[in-house]
Amino acid sequence: MRQAADPPLILASGSATRAALLRAAGLAFTVMPPAVDEAAIKQAAKAEAIPPRDAAVMLAEAKAERISRRHPEALVIGADQLLVCEGEWFDKPADARAAEAQLARLSGRVHELVTAVVCHRGGLRVWQHVAAPRLAMRALQPEVIAEYVAAEGEAVTRSVGAYRVEGLGLRLFRRIEGEHTGILGLPMLPLLGFLRQHGVLSD
């Protein structure tokens, strides 16, 4: 699999996990985290009763568009993820105590990780995709939650779900439906398919 030199790829995200996914797929890219007020976009989306899938696209679009305006020659990848459980939207927990409270609210319930990826080139959106993996969490006792949060440390504050399924967090679940990379925040199979169609990758 070869990557064309043109257009250059830019990841409009500060997520180490998303960068690791692109790197594992053998892609050459530059990381440029955009200055986007995600909280304001989410608040507006909730106020206007915008569905989570559309809100996730709005967030990913804002990131890609911000960087694409500065680098129109590049193919810019923006992505974002919302956790939705029975109509309630969740954000990344601020600290360990908030992570424990969040996991307690998700315990025994099914939630969706609505994950959007948007690509911009020349200031225009050229592709988008939304994945919505469903995860069924086990009914967790408070001591199990506390032990998990203590074991993961600060990592729980970097995930919208307060867990990492690529680590010990996998033990918190009884069923997971959806592409693993979509759960991690960047649906790689659809993205790689688009990159091939766009001429960025050749087999």
pLDDT, one tens digit per residue, over 134-157 is 999 999 999 999 999 999 999 999
The pTM score is: 0.90
Tens digit of pLDDT for each residue in 97-134? 999 999 999 999 999 999 999 999 998 999 999 999 99
Q: Is 80 a catalytic residue?
A: yes
pLDDT of residue 95: 94
What is the model's pLDDT at position 22? 96
Say which of 80, 91, 95, 203 is annotated catalytic. 80
CA angle 52–35–32, rounded 5-degree value: 100
91 pLDDT more than 90: no
Q: Is the pLDDT of residue 84 over 80?
A: yes
Give residue limits of the domains in the chain: 2-202
Q: How far is CA 69 from CA 12, 78, 127, 128, 185, in A?
A: 12, 13, 16, 18, 23
Strands 75-85 and 9-11: parallel
What's residue 47's pLDDT?
83
Residues 2-202, CATH architecture? Alpha-Beta Complex (3.90)
Average pLDDT, stretch 36-47? Answer: 85
Contact (Cβ atoms closer than 8 angstroms) between residue 102 and residue 162: yes
Q: Is 51 exposed, middle or buried (0-12, 13-18, 19+ CB in 10 A)?
A: exposed
Question: How many Cβ atoms from other residues are within 10 Å of residue 144's Cβ?
Answer: 15
